[in-house]
């Protein structure tokens, strides 16, 4: 997984872009039966959808559909102009959602224009108003020194959720490894030999810290390999396209100056699509990943050590993994709750809910990582880290009290009442 993991992570980042660039819906040749006689030769064609108009009645066209090379039949009834809401598309093969939305939006726009013209409304005035009223909202964060920096809420949300998910996954993954390892040592009785040489607390902390270092090493390898693979894939994916787009941009003005054909419009669309891809990558470059990764390392280690101690306590208290379910729920609920609440916290990252969830040790590893890309006051970050360290010390003390007794306890179903006795057992 050290090698496969980065490949999977890089694929999540690169594959959607690659598929979007090569997306090609099947060609559609649709026969149109228009009972209103208003839309003939008016529905806009697209690169993969072509409309053919017929004088045949709907019954005739429908009956002959299977004998023709048409992929579908579009029926526009007369009542569509008097309150009817249904146009019908009959098809041989299921069209994509993009094709359906394209047809629907075109018909709606044409009916909208017809209604305006019917009431003697100037369409050019409407279009001009729509163009001039279209705006783009850009966001900039201003620091205490008055310096502004570009931000993008969608990108910040993506990054916050991504790091929050990594913390959530790693704590569960490596915490479960601690628990399984202790159960295995206990059931094989090898632990009886080990504790003859070391104290139970040393054994527990050795296993927790050892797996933490394994997880940290694996994460650093993932980070380096994922970045390398993503960079190589990005250059390979967009490099040739950028060179080709630069050549096209040189001749674009001449092409548009002559007011030529649809090819010019397609060329302009390609240029705009490429610039959008560049914009996506530029948004990520504005994020302070160094600070976020450093904080991630702290919250991953501290959060794992805290939960790892609790998982170790569970492993020492049971004889088999099937007996862990009753003790797992109280531990996993705060972790799951923190990830569930993350979707509300990104809507108000500086609200009171976000603040308290990022301070409470059981939820702070995930919630604070979700908040960090949006900017967190230094005192809140320091308080959260301090509380998490205290939480780790407290849970380690509790886990050690349970571990020292439970590690040599066999053949007994442990209850919460029994665990409470172990916490205060002096021996």
Which contacts of 345-351 are long-range, i.e. CB under 8 A and separated by 24 or more positions?
345/370, 345/371, 346/157, 346/160, 346/161, 346/370, 346/374, 349/160, 349/374, 350/374
The β-bridge relationship of strands 72-76 and 28-34 is parallel
**Which pLDDT score is estimated for 20?**
58
Which tens digit of pLDDT belongs to each residue from 9-26? 666 666 666 665 555 566
Mean pLDDT of the chain, nearest integer: 76
Q: What would the pLDDT profile of 55-110 be if each residue is shown by its tens digit? A: 888 888 888 888 888 888 888 888 777 766 678 888 877 777 777 888 888 888 88
Q: How many CB atoms lie within 10 A of CB 111?
A: 17
Q: How confident is the model over 132-186, as pLDDT tens digits?
A: 666 666 666 666 666 656 666 777 787 888 888 888 888 888 888 888 888 888 8
Q: Per residue in 98-127, pLDDT tens? A: 778 888 888 888 888 777 777 777 777 777
Return the minimum-mean-pLDDT range out of 46-50, 252-256, 386-390.
Answer: 252-256
Torsion of CA 339, 340, 344, 347, to 10 degrees: 40
The pLDDT value recorded for residue 257 is: 47
Answer whether residue 221 shows pLDDT above 90. no
User: How many Å apart are CA 99 and CA 30, to the nearest integer?
Assistant: 11
Can you give the pLDDT at residue 85?
A: 61
- Confidence class of residue 247 from pLDDT cuts 50, 70 and 90? very low
Does pLDDT of 8 surpass 60?
yes
The SS3 call for residue 322 is helix
Interhelix angle for 364-371 vs 325-345, to 10°? 20
pLDDT at position 311 is 87
pLDDT for 132: 64
Q: CB-based contacts of 203: which residues, under 8 Å, 6+ apart?
A: 191, 194, 195, 407
Instruction: Quote the Cα angle for 244-249-251, to 5°.
Output: 105
pLDDT-derived band of residue 259, with 50, 70 and 90 as boundaries? very low
- Whole-prediction pTM: 0.62
Tell me what the mean pLDDT of segment 316-342 comes to. 81
Helix axes 123-133, 97-118, angle to 10 degrees: 130
Phi, psi (degrees; rounded to nearest 5) at 425:
-75, 130
More confident residue, 386 or 287: 386
| CA separation for the pair 342, 156 (Å, rounded) | 13
pLDDT at 260 over 90: no
- Among 3.40.190.10, 3.40.50.300, 3.40.640.10, 3.40.30.10, name the CATH number for the domain at 28-127: 3.40.190.10
pLDDT in tens, 367-403: 998 888 888 888 999 999 999 999 988 888 888 888 8
Q: Is 6 exposed, middle or buried (0-12, 13-18, 19+ CB in 10 A)?
A: buried
Within 39-79, residue ranges assigned H as helices are: 58-64
**Shortest CA distance to 304 belongs to which of 171, 169, 164?**
171
Of 334, 319, 347, which Cα lies nearest the Cα of 406? 319
Q: Helix, strand, coil % (nearest 5) of the chain? A: 70, 5, 25
- Structural domain spans, the chain: 28-127, 151-423
């Amino acid at each position: 997984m050290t090698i496969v993991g980065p490949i999977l992570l890089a694929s999540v980042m690169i594959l959607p872009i690659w598929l979007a660039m090569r997306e090609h819906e099947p060609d559609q040749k649709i026969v149109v039966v228009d009972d209103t006689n208003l839309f003939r030769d008016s529905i806009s064609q697209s690169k993969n959808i072509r409309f053919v108009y017929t004088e045949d009645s709907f019954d005739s066209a429908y009956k002959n559909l299977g004998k023709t090379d048409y992929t579908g039949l579009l029926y526009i009834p007369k009542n569509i102009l008097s309150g009817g809401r249904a146009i019908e598309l009959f098809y041989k093969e299921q069209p994509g959602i993009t094709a359906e939305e394209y047809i629907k939006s075109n018909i709606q726009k044409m009916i909208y224009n017809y209604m305006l013209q019917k009431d003697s409304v100037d369409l050019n005035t409407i279009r001009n108003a729509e163009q001039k009223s279209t705006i783009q909202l850009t966001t900039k964060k201003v620091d205490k020194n008055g310096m502004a920096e570009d931000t993008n809420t969608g990108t910040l949300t993506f990054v916050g959720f991504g790091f929050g998910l990594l913390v959530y996954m790693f704590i569960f993954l490596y915490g479960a490894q601690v628990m399984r390892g202790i159960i295995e040592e206990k059931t094989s009785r090898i632990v009886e030999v080990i504790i003859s040489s070391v104290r139970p607390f040393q054994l527990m902390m050795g296993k927790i810290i050892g797996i933490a270092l394994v997880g940290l090493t694996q994460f650093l390898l993932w980070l380096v390999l994922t970045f390398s693979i993503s960079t190589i894939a990005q250059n390979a994916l967009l490099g040739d396209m950028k060179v080709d787009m630069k050549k096209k941009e040189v001749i674009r003005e001449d092409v548009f100056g002559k007011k030529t054909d649809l090819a010019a419009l397609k060329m302009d669309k390609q240029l705009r699509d490429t610039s959008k891809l560049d914009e996506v990558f530029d948004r990520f470059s504005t994020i302070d990943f160094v600070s976020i990764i450093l904080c991630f390392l702290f919250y991953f280690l501290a959060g794992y050590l805290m939960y790892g101690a609790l998982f170790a306590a569970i492993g020492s208290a049971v004889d088999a993994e099937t007996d862990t379910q009753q003790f797992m729920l109280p531990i996993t609920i705060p972790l799951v709750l923190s990830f569930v609440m993350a979707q509300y916290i990104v809507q108000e990252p500086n609200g009171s809910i976000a603040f308290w969830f990022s301070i409470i040790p059981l939820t702070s590893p995930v919630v604070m990582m979700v908040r960090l890309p949006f900017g967190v006051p230094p005192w809140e970050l320091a308080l959260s880290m301090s509380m998490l360290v205290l939480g780790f010390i407290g849970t380690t003390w509790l886990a050690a009290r349970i571990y020292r007794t439970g590690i040599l306890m066999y053949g007994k179903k442990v209850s919460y009442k029994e665990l409470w006795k172990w916490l205060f057992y002096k021996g």
